[in-house]
Amino acid sequence: MACQRGEGEDGRPQVKKFDGFDLPTVGPISSYRLRHFEHARYWHPSNKAFVKVYAQLGLHRYNFLEGTNYRFSLLQSYNRGMTSGAARYYLSLFADCPDSGRTLPFHALVSENRIGRLDISVHIARPRCSEEQPRLCRPTYTCSPLPRWPSSEMFAQRRFYTLNEHELRNTDWVRLYLDLAHSTCDRGMTESQLSDFYIEQVAIRSLSDADPPSLDSKSLVVYMVYKDLAKDRLGEPCYRKAIIRRVYEESSRSLTFQGKHWSFSEEKEKKKKKKDKKRFALLKKRLGVCGAWRLGIDVYRKRGIRSSSTTR
């Protein structure tokens, strides 16, 4: 936590704490290694989609841990680390309380562990008047590989829970997690592009073997099958999959999210490449390296001739 010097009510010099959320009143912002963005003045259009998702995720962390039901209203501003890679985002936002109808200011701290993929941690989410301090500690599981997509037989097992239609349409964080997976991987995505994804099936698995999977599980893996409506309108392959892992760290009270997404056509292409590698490995054993390469070149030539003839 940084400090800044100012004057107290008695006119004497006073040191004020600055934890990254509120702007310092003395000295340049650059001395705190942060850049400030406001909705009205310095908002960068390409940042809007994913930073807004970060703010919604911070509020989700507060509701998740405190058992509240605040609704995201507005992202007011944020301070971002000056690095060009993974950075911390100190977000100032507003949320509505459905019980009282009041709108309250909130703070949220979201840290990117890696850039260009879903790998982030939410360390702080609090009402602006709260004194919760960040307990930053990099989780040991951050770089652990994501699980593979289960088979249909595995989904039928008791350690998986498939959401029914009511749960799928009324669990806000399901949609939020999908938006998070896409906006972190492609920062140029707009809100309208994110709205083109239609979720069809969701299954969850608890990371704790002692607890059965449920929507209340603190650490879990989410498996999604969804549709890209924009590609569907063009008549292109439109079905996609996503895996998002949420891990709760008890010592720091932080939530860490990791995930990836891919299309069915990409999955088929990967399977095809694996088969080709296996075939080539068998050919190497039977014919030797030179013989396998010659045979492979002949096959690719024939494929090229066929594809060119079909295009004509």
Tokens 């058992």 -> residue:
67
Confidence of residue 11 (pLDDT cuts 50, 70, 90): very low
Q: Check whether 209 has a pLDDT greater than 60.
A: yes
Phi and psi torsions of 245, nearest 5°? -110, 130
Question: DSSP label at 295?
Answer: H
Torsion (CA) 23, 25, 28, 34 in degrees, nearest 10: -10
Note the pLDDT of residue 170: 93
Mean pLDDT throughout 41-64? 81
Note the pLDDT of residue 8: 41
What is the sign of the dihedral through the CA atoms of 212, 208, 123 and 191?
Answer: negative
Mean pLDDT throughout 197-211? 91
Higher pLDDT, 296 or 204: 204
101-141: pLDDT as tens digits: 899 999 999 999 998 899 999 999 999 876 555 554 444 44
On whether the CB atoms of residues 132 and 122 are closer than 8 A, the answer is no
Note the pLDDT of residue 274: 65
Cα 74 to Cα 10, 55, 192, 310: the distances in Å are: 37, 9, 17, 54
From CA 92, how far away is CA 107, in angstroms rounded?
Answer: 5
From CA 89, how far away is CA 75, in angstroms rounded?
Answer: 12
Note the pLDDT of residue 288: 63
Q: pTM surpassing 0.85?
A: no
226 strand-pairing partners: 199, 240
On whether the CB atoms of residues 51 and 89 are closer than 8 A, the answer is yes
Domains of the chain plus CATH, in order, are 1-136 (3.10.450.10), 146-274 (no CATH)
From CA 111, how far away is CA 89, in angstroms rounded?
Answer: 6
Confidence of residue 203 (pLDDT cuts 50, 70, 90): very high
On whether the CB atoms of residues 119 and 142 are closer than 8 A, the answer is yes
54-81: pLDDT as tens digits: 999 999 999 999 999 999 999 988 988 8
Q: List, in order, residues 6 or more apart from 14 with CB less than 8 Å away.
A: 5, 6, 7, 8
Confidence of residue 251 (pLDDT cuts 50, 70, 90): confident
Q: What is the mean pLDDT of the chain?
A: 80
Q: Check whether 53 has a pLDDT greater than 90.
A: yes
